[in-house]
Structure formats: structure tokens, C-alpha cells
Amino acid sequence: MATGWESLLRDEQQLEELARQAVDRALAEGVLLRTSQEPSSSDVVSYAPFTLFPSLVPSALLEQAYAVQMDFNMLVDAVSQDAAFLEQTLSSTIKRDNFTARLFDIHKQVLKEGIAQTVFLGLNRSDYMFQRNADGSAALKQIEINTISASFGGLASRTPAVHRHVLNVLSKTQEAAKILSNNPSKGLALGITKAWELYGSANALVLLIAQEKERNIFDQRAIENELLARNIHVIRRRFEDVSEKASLDQDRRLFMDGQEVAVVYFRDGYMPSQYSPQNWEARLLLERSRAVKCPDIATQLAGTKKVQQELSRMGVLEMLLPGQPETVARLHATFAGLYSLDMGEEGDQAIAEALAAPSQFVLKPQREGGGNNLYGEEMVQALERLKDSEERASYILMEKIEPEPFGNCLLRPGSPVRVVQCISELGIFGVYVRQGKTLVMNKHVGHLLRTKAIEHADGGVAAGVAVLDNPYPV
């Protein structure tokens, strides 16, 4: 894929001036993060890193990603309701992965008691890279689906103005007009609104679970603001606050500081380090409640890498989505090679293949948040160590996607402006709401393009590796 901006990238002086303009516009638009020095305060903030130019994305792949999003929503929802599938799929993993096991314990506990929740809300983001084919074309391949705390829907609505600005400064007004408008935070808020309405208590609140040290607060605020504009009040609380001040009544209605909660929206709780014993108790209390959890624990489990791998097995999609061959075909077309490492012949063979061609594989544990996967020599060492141990079942192997690199400038506070070779990852935000067995909302609500330098194998924006971008459709 050509950059599209080759001649511009050669003019260093112009790049510096454009970068100054872009940064000021980003700050003015609210493309913001708190600083790593002061993550609990908004007194001093900085711009969220972003690319100087929008990156070229084939329109056909953008359309394909949008077109398959409602299918992914249905799939995640189907998995979350299939306790037998979840149990079978995760049985080997939970023996060796303590975090997944803790989540699974809560899932079992809630099932045993009986689920009080009747309205279900999914806010997810399905991420893709553009695999370079032998003939030079590109194919859309899913990296993962995020079913908890899928972020950057707020900031992604503010970056189109920045890239339009850059192109307008260059008098490229036609090009500027091609940058798609995007407002995921509004769509995500509409999902929360629908769930709140169906919960059916006019005075109930939305409880946003977040940490105090949260650099990405402006992204979350964008959703809070959309809700407040619809007269829905949001309170931000930590897990610690929940364990101190939340309670259930005899109908398992959730109360926080004495106020009823209709929807619990998690922007925390997806990594082991986020859970103290007290936080696990708080999570269990929330799960047991009647409030709409976004996500409920089963939906969080549906987003594990192990589930993703099992979904790619022949016949599984057909079983989960019976009588929907077109949906199944659309989903399958986006799957990369995914391999189980469970003990046995199949896992042995996958390991042998990865050891024979390490550059073509990624080793993934059951983790979220970036920086956990293993590549190259590190992957080889881990596989050699894990090969004969049951611990290997807590990982999956995945085909490594190799997009065509292109040049762009990654703008970061304190870093010089320079052109680097990059690759992008496209995310599509999906929203669905189910009441009992009836799906009452199923849609896509926008996109996120993140771009990183090719020397980084892993990591997203929050991990300090990727930066915000916009697709420039070609």
C-alpha cells in the first residue's frame, strides 16, 4: 500500500510546521490524555499521540469490517448465553490460568444462584489488520474482539477534525472531505441509554467503574457527556468504593451510595493487576445484581483469546449460529489461523510448526491491554519451556498478520517529528442490547484506526506504542 503522501513526507521543514498546527488543533478538539506523571489529575494534560496524516485503507476492507460487525455482535451474544460451550472451551485454560479461572468461578456462582439480570448490553470493538496477499492485494484479518472496556470511541470522534485541518492547510480540500466523520461515543451511549430505558427505573443511575489513576479519562467523559445530554446521570466509582458502599436489596437491585444503579459500565477489571481480593468481592456483588452489566461476566469470558481460537474450529460457528450460513461465511472470512495448545497431538503439531517458522506466529496468553504476546525468539523460548507442561493450555497460537508498511509521522509529546515505517489496526465498535431472548438493538457505531511503527510487534495506544489515526479510504 503506498503512503499516498510521499512527496509531503520528504519536506522536513513543512512536516514540522504541519505538526505544530496539528498538535494545536488536537488540543483544541479535545484529543487529550492525562500525563503519566499526574494520572489522577486533569490540571495538566497533554494531547493523545496521533499520526500527522490519515493512513490509506482500502474502502472495500473498511466496508467489509463494518458489514461483519453485526455478525460479531450476535456471535459474542450467542457465546455468552451458551454456558456449556464456555465451560468446555475454557476447561483446559482455567486449570492453568488463575485470572480466567477467577472470572469463570464468578460466572458459575451467578449461574448457580440464577441470573437476576434480564437486559444485556454489549459494547465491543473488533480489531483487524490488513494481511498483505501474494498478489499485492490486502485481506481483512481479525486480531481480536474486545468485549470489556473497549476504548478510544471518545477520542476517535475528535481526530477527523485534526486530519482535515492538516489537509486543509495544504489546500487539499477534496482530500480533507474524504475523511470520514466518526462518533463511536455517541453510539456507545445510545446502547447504554437503551439498556437504561429497558431497566425501567426513572431515577436509576449509570455506574462507571474506573480507576482513580486514569490517563484516558477524556475518552470516558465523552460517553458520560452523551449520557448526561439524555438526562442519564453517571457516577464514577472504583471497585474499592463498590466494596465499601454498594449493596443489593432482596430483589438483587443494586444500590450505590443509596442510589439505584441501572447499568454498570466497566472501564476497569480486565487485567489481573486490577483485582485485589476486595475487588474480586466487589465484582461478584455487581455480577449477582439485577443491574445491566456491560459486560456481564459471561460476555467478558466470550472475549478471551481461547474462545476466539475455538470459534475458528470447523463447525463451531455453525453450531452457535444455526441456519445462518451467510453470517458464518462472513465471520469465517475474517479469521486468521488460530491454534489450540491443549495437550495432545493437535497442540504438539502447532508447536512444531511455530518452532519451525517463528516469524509466522504469535503466542498469546489470556490477557488484555497490550504487551503480553510473545513473538520471534521470545516465543521460541517460551514454547521450548512450555512444550511438555500443561501450562501451555493457558496460551493460544495465532498466525502472524503481515501488513504492507507505509510511511507516516507519529506525533507524541516530547518526541521529534520524523517519518517512520508503520502499520495500522482498524477497530469497529459494535453495540447490541438484548432483553430476555429478544435482540432489541444490533449495530455498528463507528471505527478506530491505530497506527504504530513496525519495530513494535505488540501494544496499543494505552501501552504507549500505537497512536490514533483515521482511515483515508482509497
Applying CB under 6 A, among 256, 307, 398, 419 the residue interacting with ligand ADP is 398
d(CA 308, CA 366): 11
Q: Which three cell numbers, joined as nine digits, stand for 83? A: 454456558
Query: Is residue 376 a contact residue for ligand ADP (CB under 6 A)?
Result: no
Residues near 287 by beta carbon (within 8 Å), at least 6 away in sequence: 106, 109, 110, 293, 296, 297
Query: Is residue 400 a contact residue for ligand ADP (CB under 6 A)?
Result: yes
List 305, 306, 392, 434, catalytic entry:
305
Shortest Å, Cβ 33 to ligand ADP? 18
Q: Which three cell numbers, joined as nine digits, stand for 41? A: 489529575
Q: Is 404 annotated as a binding residue?
A: no
Active site residue 305: yes
Nearest to 460 by CA among 162, 186, 129, 181: 129
Q: Is 461 annotated as a binding residue?
A: yes
Nearest to 18 by CA among 155, 236, 165, 195: 165
Give residue 192's Cα distance to chain centre: 17
Active site residue 112: no
| φ/ψ bin of 376: left (φ > 0), alpha (ψ from -120 to 50), beta (otherwise) | left
Would you call 440 helix, strand, or coil by DSSP?
strand
Shortest Å, Cβ 80 to ligand ADP? 18
How many CB atoms lie under 10 A from the CB of residue 360?
14
Active site residue 427: no
Query: Is residue 39 a contact residue for ligand ADP (CB under 6 A)?
Result: no
Q: Which residue is nearest to ligand ADP (CB)?
A: 401
d(CA 259, CA 241): 14
Query: Is residue 82 a contact residue for ligand ADP (CB under 6 A)?
Result: no
Q: Is 392 annotated as a binding residue?
A: no
Query: Is residue 425 a contact residue for ligand ADP (CB under 6 A)?
Result: yes
**Total residues contacting ligand ADP (rule CB under 6 A)?**
21
List 29, 137, 318, 369, catalytic entry:
369
d(CA 431, CA 443): 5
Nearest to 216 by CA among 285, 263, 267: 267
Applying CB under 6 A, among 115, 321, 330, 369 the residue interacting with ligand ADP is 369
Amino acid in the structure at residue 10? R
Query: Is residue 427 a contact residue for ligand ADP (CB under 6 A)?
Result: no
Q: Is 137 annotated as a binding residue?
A: no
CB-neighbour burial class of residue 132 (10 A; exposed 0-12, middle 13-18, buried 19+): middle
Would you call 419 helix, strand, or coil by DSSP?
strand
Applying CB under 6 A, among 35, 81, 372, 435 the residue interacting with ligand ADP is 372
Active site residue 146: yes
Site for ligand ADP in 131-170 (CB under 6 A): 143-144
Binding-site ranges for ligand ADP (CB under 6 A): 127, 129, 143-144, 336, 362, 364, 367-370, 372-373, 398-401, 425, 458-460
Binding residues for Mg(2+): 144, 146, 368
Binding residues: 125, 144, 146, 148-151, 214-216, 220, 267-270, 305, 364-373, 375, 398-401, 425, 450, 452, 458, 461-462
- Active-site residue set: 125, 144, 146, 151, 305, 364, 368-369, 450
Binding residues for ATP: 144, 305, 364-373, 375, 398-401, 425, 452, 458
